[in-house]
Structure 1
């Protein structure tokens, strides 16, 4: 059902500033980003991240609450879905029982999403009684998209980008999920990381052909498969699903590399407590976050760490204060 939304006025009320201030901030928002480099989810390599200014971010949070949270998100989308707990684990477990999987990645996913893609989704959602007018479009474009090399597109690093990408991918998620269901298989997406799993040999290649054909006939969004990252995996090998490993026995693991780093940091943390070593804030945050993750995902390994380093020391690291 449609409802009346006065975008700029509603954002002004949410942020607690005047309408005039909202308009002046929106005018400069596309150029208010700070460039940074962050590590990829896989831990291998880095990606360029654009952090919006605090003022731009405040406007984006306003639009998330007022508009973006109400746009449709498909059940096959596991990243940044409101109310979904342990999304990485649940996404991995979805594929546990299948013999074959294919992992597909999109080339320049966020930069491929442009304002017109969002306008189309909003108009089709029925949230507004009429199509967006030019003033609303200009406001959304300025607040939610970065201007980079003269082009407007989604930015990796903006809090609103995941919500927008999920909404824009909804129609494709519907098609890909239906294909999987008809083939007694399963499909999921974590941002731009697509996983299709099946028990039928050759079905992974058939899904890739279907996906590629669908994308070539889809005018919005315009996406391309990153062929260098397409990977077919089978039972008996380590299958990696959004940073989690499905073991040949069908279990879920954080993987050897992350376990090795955790052991190293726990050893250093024991020295840190004695004043014989100093862990950086980054290392402490990594240790805390990954211990909590292991406790949730692979509790047997967490218990092994407790046996090796004592419950007192591991719990101390888990709840360490990072100033």
Structure 2
């Protein structure tokens, strides 16, 4: 009877948890079999992935802008399908800070730069190994905070991490990194407010700007201490303190009058599209690149982007 009573209590608790999740618009995941059912795979397969996720990734490297190798770990088909499901149905409910602009609908690198336009002083810092600094326990805590039982939260974290951190290449990693960094964003926004400054973050790029406060090394040390609370660290090679009279860039965009790429890049694109308009056949194999640039330009100069896109289309149709 005691065993039966404990079983009934477990079912009652599970049902209560499932209903609470459902009312919040979340899938009612309270057991691993439920998890597998909603994913459309067998419980044994999910259990095997949870137990040994490393067997379900492939690894390769790509060069960074600096030429250094960047390690990429992409999930194989089944795990990628599961992660996309998590990304689409669970992670949109995670709490994100208003000043986080990357990996979000209706936000962009341009919205990230907007609050720094016209400011006199700028502090720009970069996080080292952003995804790799996010720990398994932090990911599990995100799922638990959403309302999932700890056992399920830990299983979801196992499906989202590799070697105890977020893999570069998983569909879930960007949103989870944003969610884990939320509390740090709060502290960094408070740091900025205390210096009459604006704050924004685009992935691992952090920017602070102010008309009145002149940033110094002590501010960098303060930011380093704040991000260190969450287990993150700054990349000292990418720290910039810029005062008045100098060109300001935030996450690669100029913020002098309005967010836009720096002048050298705009000139390079203008020359490229001019050549493509004169001799479209020579750009036939680069039509996709032209279209990509045109789409980017559309975010700050729709009028120019329209003419660029016409050139890209002509290049793609050249026999």
Counterpart pick for 1:113 among 109, 123, 134: 134
Q: Show the 5 A alignment for 1:282-293.
A: 283-293=286-296
Could you report, residue by residue, the CA deviation over 1:89-117 in whole angstroms, capped at 9, with x for unpaired residues? Answer: 11111110311111111122211112012
1:252 alignment counterpart: 259
Higher helix share: 2
Higher-Rg structure is 2
What is the CA–CA distance in structure 2 between the aligned matches of 1:266 and 1:29, rounded to whole Å? 46
User: Do the aligned residues in 1 keep the contact of 2:72 with 2:169 (CA within 8 Å)?
Assistant: yes
Q: Show the 5 A alignment for 1:1-323.
A: 3=21, 4-6=28-30, 8-38=32-62, 40=64, 43-45=65-67, 47-81=70-104, 83-85=105-107, 87-123=108-144, 125=145, 127-128=147-148, 130=149, 132-133=150-151, 136-137=153-154, 139-147=155-163, 152-203=164-215, 205-216=217-228, 218=229, 221-247=230-256, 250-263=257-270, 265-267=272-274, 269-270=276-277, 273-274=280-281, 277=282, 279-280=284-285, 283-299=286-302, 302=305, 306=307, 312-314=310-312, 316=314, 320=316
Could you report, residue by residue, the CA deviation over 1:229-272 in whole angstroms, capped at 9, with x for unpaired residues? Answer: 1111234322221121123xx23221234334424543564477
- TM-score relative to the length of structure 1: 0.78
* Pairwise CA distance, 1:172: 0.7
User: Do the aligned residues in 1 keep the contact of 2:295 with 2:305 (CA within 8 Å)?
Assistant: no
Unpaired segments ≥5 residues, structure 1: none
CA spacing shift, 1:278–1:253, aligned 2, 3 Å: closer
What is the DSSP-based 3-state SS (H/G/I as helix, E as strand, rest coil) of the residue aligned with 1:35? strand
What is the CA–CA distance in structure 2 between the aligned matches of 1:167 and 1:238, rounded to whole Å? 32
Between Structure 1 and Structure 2, how many residues are aligned?
292
* Pairwise CA distance, 1:73: 0.6
* Pairwise CA distance, 1:52: 1.8
What is the CA–CA distance in structure 1 between the aligned matches of 2:91 and 2:251, rounded to whole Å? 24
What is the DSSP-based 3-state SS (H/G/I as helix, E as strand, rest coil) of the residue aligned with 2:222? helix
- TM-score relative to the length of structure 2: 0.79
What is the DSSP-based 3-state SS (H/G/I as helix, E as strand, rest coil) of the residue aligned with 1:188? strand
What is the CA–CA distance in structure 2 between the aligned matches of 1:278 and 1:251, rounded to whole Å? 31
* Pairwise CA distance, 1:39: 5.5
What is the CA–CA distance in structure 2 between the aligned matches of 1:10 and 1:183, rounded to whole Å? 49
Q: What RMSD in Å do the two structures reach over aligned CA positions?
A: 3.0
User: Do the aligned residues in 1 keep the contact of 2:140 with 2:153 (CA within 8 Å)?
Assistant: no
User: Do the aligned residues in 2 keep the contact of 1:99 with 1:197 (CA within 8 Å)?
Assistant: yes
User: Do the aligned residues in 2 keep the contact of 1:186 with 1:196 (CA within 8 Å)?
Assistant: yes
* Pairwise CA distance, 1:200: 2.2
Could you report, residue by residue, the CA deviation over 1:108-167 in whole angstroms, capped at 9, with x for unpaired residues? Answer: 2211112012123334x2523x5x13x651x234321123xxxx2111111100111011
What is the DSSP-based 3-state SS (H/G/I as helix, E as strand, rest coil) of the residue aligned with 2:156? helix
What is the DSSP-based 3-state SS (H/G/I as helix, E as strand, rest coil) of the residue aligned with 2:299? helix
What is the CA–CA distance in structure 1 between the aligned matches of 2:89 and 2:101, rounded to whole Å? 22
What is the CA–CA distance in structure 1 between the aligned matches of 2:49 and 2:225, rounded to whole Å? 41
* More displaced stretch, 227-236 vs 206-215: 206-215
User: Do the aligned residues in 1 keep the contact of 2:123 with 2:215 (CA within 8 Å)?
Assistant: no
What is the DSSP-based 3-state SS (H/G/I as helix, E as strand, rest coil) of the residue aligned with 1:296? coil
User: Do the aligned residues in 1 keep the contact of 2:122 with 2:215 (CA within 8 Å)?
Assistant: no
